[in-house]
């Protein structure tokens, strides 16, 4: 399970635009958990992101729980990402955690977050 967990990318977000995201805690049997960020424009609801990711992880023997959601504004031409808002169904994700994950994935970006906005 630890090996499967290590293959799960910490961040998967769309390359451009404004879209919903979820912060998920992924677990394998007997393995430590890790938090991952998933954000895509195709998702009408935060639950869509959660359900699709849960299905993908289940195929590798992993499970996940949703820690909350929000929105991401990704502007690659400006090298900026802004994290904000909340999920009606899952509540507000810890945007500080999300921001740290994004900084590791996009080290040359300016990444900001705020609790305001929807």
pLDDT digits (tens, 9 = 90+) for 1-22: 678 999 999 999 999 999 999 9
1-114 CATH pick, 3.50.30.30, 3.40.50.300, 3.50.20.20, 3.30.70.20 = 3.50.20.20
65 Cα distance to chain centroid: 12
pLDDT digits (tens, 9 = 90+) for 75-99: 999 999 999 999 999 999 999 999 9
Domain boundaries, the chain: 1-114
40 is catalytic: no
What is the 8-class DSSP label of residue 45?
A: S
Binding site for substrate, by residue number, is: 20
Among residues 70, 35, 71, 72, the alpha carbon closest in space to that of 53 is found at 35
Catalytic residue among 46, 74, 82, 95: 46
Among residues 82, 52, 49, the alpha carbon closest in space to that of 68 is found at 49
pLDDT digits (tens, 9 = 90+) for 93-118: 999 999 999 999 999 999 999 987 66
How far is Cα 6 from Cα 12, in angstroms, rounded to an integer?
14
């Amino acid at each position: 399970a630890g090996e499967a967990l290590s293959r799960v990318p910490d961040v998967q977000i769309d390359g451009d635009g404004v879209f919903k995201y979820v912060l998920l805690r992924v677990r394998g049997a007997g393995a430590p958990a890790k938090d991952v960020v998933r954000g895509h424009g195709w998702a009408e609801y935060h639950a869509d992101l959660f359900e699709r990711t849960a299905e993908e992880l289940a195929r590798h023997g992993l499970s996940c729980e949703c820690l909350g959601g929000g929105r991401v504004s990704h502007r690659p031409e400006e090298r900026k990402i802004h994290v904000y808002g909340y999920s009606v169904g899952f509540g507000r994700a810890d945007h500080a955690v999300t921001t740290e994950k994004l900084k590791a994935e996009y080290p040359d970006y300016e990444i900001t977050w705020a609790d305001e906005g929807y």
